[in-house]
A = this chain, B = another copy of it.
Amino acid sequence: MIPTPALVVERSILDHNIATIGATLPGAKLRPHVKAFKCTALAQRLADAGHRNFTCATVREVEGMAAAGLGEDLLLANEVLDREQLRRLAAVEASVTLAVDSSEGVARAAAAGIRSVLIDVDVGLPRCGCPPEEAGRIADEARAAGMSVRGVMGYEGHLMMVMDRSERVSKVEHSMSKLLRAADDVGGELISGGGTGTYDTNTWANEIQAGTFLLGDTQYATLDLPFRQAIHLECSILAINPRGWIVANAGLKALGMDRGDPSWADGEVMFCSDEHTTLRPREGVGVELDQRIRLDPAHLDPTVAKHEEMWLVDGDEIVERLSVDIRHW
């Protein structure tokens, strides 16, 4: 019996999601982003399906992927300026490419012994990335410092949740035009971008950094995508109050809450506390103490990052206990 609270992953839906993305983005067209699931066993399933190049967000993710034998082509799609973190990264025995977006970043990467970089370009999301017109100069500096420059990346994260498909296409095109301009100046083979929300509308990048497609969440479920939600938070009913609410034994320490409360198929979520979620069952829904119920997380990535493990299941049967082994920094 799976102890609650626990993340459970339905194998058949996982397989459906992997097959579905592979039909549009076979092999290296998809560079799965491990930040969404932080689990090398799930990354291995993607590698087995032909996607052997991965995207990481932290040094710890890079280290863990390399240790799991998945280090054929790891992109750390994030800047690193800290010298100790750069030292760790340079020590990883794998093929590692680091995102850089500044002269300082190039100088520090080179000094630490990083051999391969990619230029991170600001394509509209207010975060990291250099202005497109500076990308060529930064690439030149990297080459002058002895590093190979594999190309460019730009993440159009601000466009993932554009609901209307044709509006999404035109906005992604505008965003990617900045990346293509930078790519012309930079050279190299990689034009890396995208995410689950734009996996099939971003046809300008030549590899897509998607992660959420694998397990899903309620926010991505609002889009017109063919993926299904494979993950749920399994919990147990702790209390049934005569005033009409029930209490599940999982709360905001088990859920990423930045996009709001989880959802429940059989009623309303009233609120989450540290270790509880108070729910109001829909009329006619029977509940009993210690009964298992499943909540649907609003945001996958930070939800998974709160757990030591996930349980891969096939209906009522436990298939595998998955370690969430590349958490923290």
Contact = CB atoms under 8 A, between A and B. Distances in A.
Contacts of A305: 253, 306
A278 B157 CA distance: 13
A232 interface: no
Interface residues on A, range: 35 or more
A296 interface: no
A190 interface: no
Contact of A329 (B3, B78, B301): B3
B290 A82 contact: yes
A81 B3 CA distance: 12
A301 B274 contact: yes
Nearest to A81: B290
Given A3-B85, A275-B58, A305-B253, A128 B247 contact: yes
Given A126-B245, A127-B278, A257-B256, A84 B302 contact: no
Copies in the assembly, this chain: 2
A256 B252 CA distance: 8
Interface string A289-329: 11000000000011001111000000000000000000011
A242 B301 CA distance: 29
B290 A157 contact: no
Interface string A76-109: 0011011011000000000000000110110000
A270 interface: yes
B82 A3 contact: yes
A80 to B, nearest CB: 8
Interface of A: 1, 3-5, 35, 57-58, 78-79, 81-82, 84-85, 101-102, 104-105, 122, 126-129, 131, 157, 236, 238-243, 245, 247, 249, 252-253, 256-258, 270-276, 278, 289-290, 301-302, 305-308, 328-329
The 9 closest A-B pairs by CB, nearest first: A257-B258, A81-B290, A128-B239, A252-B258, A79-B238, A253-B305, A57-B275, A104-B289, A257-B257
